[in-house]
Amino acid sequence: MTTGTKRGRSWLFFAGFALAALVIAGALSYFADSDPDGLDSATLEGCEVVETSQGEELRGDCIARNAGEHDMSGSPLADYAVGGDGRLTGVAGVLGVVATLAVAGGLFWLLRKRSDKPTERGRT
């Protein structure tokens, strides 16, 4: 097998992987459950969420009483949405995948194993 064929198959694999990741992020994210996840549920143990005129209030003793807003809570992709719009969950997922693939691809490219001497194209 020549180097060109190996390289072509590698790119085909990575392109397929990227496409699958984008489809999963873009399409399947709309089916995600909007209820609290396990971490949220665990931090609320021992508390009761009560509706008041000023919003929700926690009563009792739980970890969530000490929680605050995250420093990035006002960022464009906070809460798995674009600009706080819950209908754009898939777009936020796709943007996250693209950013992750770009960073990972850049790191792999920078840290790749390089040969000591230049070779002719098609020869190892």
Q: Are 58 and 46 in contact (CB under 8 A)?
A: no
Average of per-residue pLDDT across 52-74? 87
Average of per-residue pLDDT across 2-19? 81
Q: Are 96 and 25 in contact (CB under 8 A)?
A: yes
Give CA–CA dist 17/115, Å, rounded.
26
In the chain, the percentage of residues whose pLDDT exceeds 90 is 27
Local confidence band at 34 (pLDDT 50, 70, 90 cut-offs): low
pTM of the predicted protein model:
0.61
The whole-chain average pLDDT of the chain stands at: 83
